Amino acid sequence: MTVHVLETEGQVCPFPLVEAKRAIAGLASGDQLRIDFDCTQATDSLPRWAAEQGYPVTHFDRTGDASWTITVQKP
Amino acid sequence: MILTGLVLGAALGFALQRGRFCVTGAFRDVWLAKRTRWLAAFFVTIAVQSAGAFALDAAGVIELGGGAFPWLASILGGLVFGFAIVYAGGCATGTYYRAGEGLVGSWIALGGYALAAAVMKYGPGAPLVEALRGVQAPVGTAYELLGVSPWVLVAVLVTGTGAAAWHHLRKDAARPKPVQLPSRRRGIARILFERPWNAFATAVVIGVIGIAAFPLSWATGRESGLGITTPSANVVAFLTTGDVELVDWGVMLVLGILVGSFIAAKGSGEFRVRVPDAQTVLRSTGGGLLMGVGAAIAGGCTIGNAMVGSATFTLQGWVSFAAMLLGTGLAVKLVFGARRSGSPAAASAPATVGV
């Protein structure tokens, strides 16, 4: 199992989500994608996207003021 | 009593920030993600406000209707504004609330927007705006055009919006619930500063704030509801002329949005001064300036036209709403079209970490 890291800090929405969709498309089944982001709106859009796509979220937390990290697994 | 504007603006800024209510996002989703969930939520703010506004009109508290329809300016300004908000990374209210979260890109967009709106309303651009807005059709509202009671249109709007909201709420319920951040707080602090707000609940709150804006603003002699563009232009005009007359209820409202979103962001650990990269600075500058130009021509932004104008069934409101949506679609093609087809240089490839 591999964790791929996508750093999107500094990018405004919807770029973190756009990048996440691109990145996960190239992943092997079972691999995880960790997305670090600081766009507030993505705290709603990223977990909602994962839920809609049926991707399990293995980790979702704050990493500081206005910074977050979420890890989703490609089924 | 213009201070009620500050209080209501703060409530609006708080709700926008906590609810992550972004009209640009709602319009963009239609084209980029082919999703209408946030657009449906935006319609909820219109429908709630519409019922409230016409009730206030019937009670004689405010007076709606009348006026002409500057059709050319509504279409042209709406297209420009809808196009610009994608580059600016938010519409007028979105830019205000993100500025309160510490996004420097939004500070730049906000400055450009307010400056351009002042240039077009009070400065050298005023003759152009006047000429464009002089191209008019005689009837200003949809119900006067159709010759029906406004309540017929309110009923249609509320029914249609209710059906759309119901559809999305049922879809939400049928899906697995999105994962939430671990909670760190309890009680009132959790409710205010941590718990995610449902999009449709946020929309109802904003709709109610929009209703309250009418009598509060009317009481101070400013005979309209929520509005962002003219107040923003007035801030610039006041700062450069010192004319205190310009500081009205609307100016307090927009300042309140900054205060409210800052309180919401700070209280929930979501405030941080975030400096953008060069490309975002360019986009924010251009987008902000164009936003001010578009809004001045159209006679309003996503709030003044697409929300309040639509709620009061002005033709300017609905036509510029449609034009904004089209303008957003065009900008989405330009900004995200190239990205999607994939130039590897534009994408930040994920780094691989073996575990």
What is the pLDDT at residue B286? 97
Q: Are strands A2-7 and A57-64 parallel, antiparallel or unpaired?
A: unpaired
CA distance linking residue B58 with residue B88, whole number of Å: 39
Mean pLDDT, range A11-40, rounded to an integer: 92
Q: Which amino acid is at B104?
A: V
CB contacts, 8 Å: B270 with chain A: 40, 65-66
pLDDT number for residue B66: 86
Contact B285, B109 (CB under 8 A): yes
- The amino acid at residue B326 is L
pLDDT confidence of residue B253: 98
Pair of tokens at residue B226: 């929520």
Altogether, the residues listed in chain A come to a count of 75
Distances (CA, A) of B251 to B205, B231, B244: 21, 5, 11
What residues are paired with B141 via a beta bridge? B314
How many CB atoms within 10 Å of residue B205? 21
Spatial distance between the Cα atoms of B20 and B194, rounded to a whole number of angstroms:
12
Profile chain B (355 residues) by mean pLDDT over runs of 10 residues. Answer: 96 96 94 94 98 98 94 98 94 94 95 98 97 97 97 98 97 91 90 92 98 97 96 97 96 98 96 92 96 97 96 98 98 80 47 54
Q: Which amino acid is at B308?
A: V
CB pairs under 8 A between A and B: 105
Question: Searching chain B, which residue's CA lies closest to the CA of residue A67?
Answer: B270
pLDDT of residue B191: 87
Pick B276's closest partner by Cβ from A8, A10, A60: A10
Is B346 at the interface with chain A, CB within 8 A?
no
Which residues, at least 6 apart from B135, have a Cβ–Cβ distance to it below 8 Å? B70, B71, B72, B73
Q: What is the pLDDT of residue B339?
A: 53
Q: Smallest Cα–Cα separation from B229: which of B319, B110, B72, B88?
A: B110
Count of other CB atoms within 10 angstroms of residue B185: 13
Q: Look at residue B59 in the predicted model and tell me its pLDDT.
A: 97
β partners of residue B354? A2
Residues of A with a catalytic annotation lie at 13
B103 close to A (CB below 8 A): yes
pLDDT for the residue A13: 84
State whether ipTM is beyond 0.85: yes
Q: What is the pLDDT of residue A11?
A: 83
Chain B residues with CB under 8 Å of A67 CB are 272
* SS3 letters across B5-50: HHHHHHHHHHHHHHCCCCHHHHHHHHHHCCCCHHHHHHHHHHHHHH
Predicted local confidence at residue B353, as pLDDT: 56
- Within 8 A of A19 by CB-CB distance, chain B residues are 347-348
Q: How many Cα neighbours within 13 Å face the side chain of B107?
A: 11
pLDDT at position B350 = 63
B54, amino acid identity: F
CB contacts of B181 in chain A (<8 Å) are 43, 60-62, 68
Cα separation, B185 vs B144, whole angstroms: 52
Of B274, B340, B349, Cβ closest to residue A66 = B274
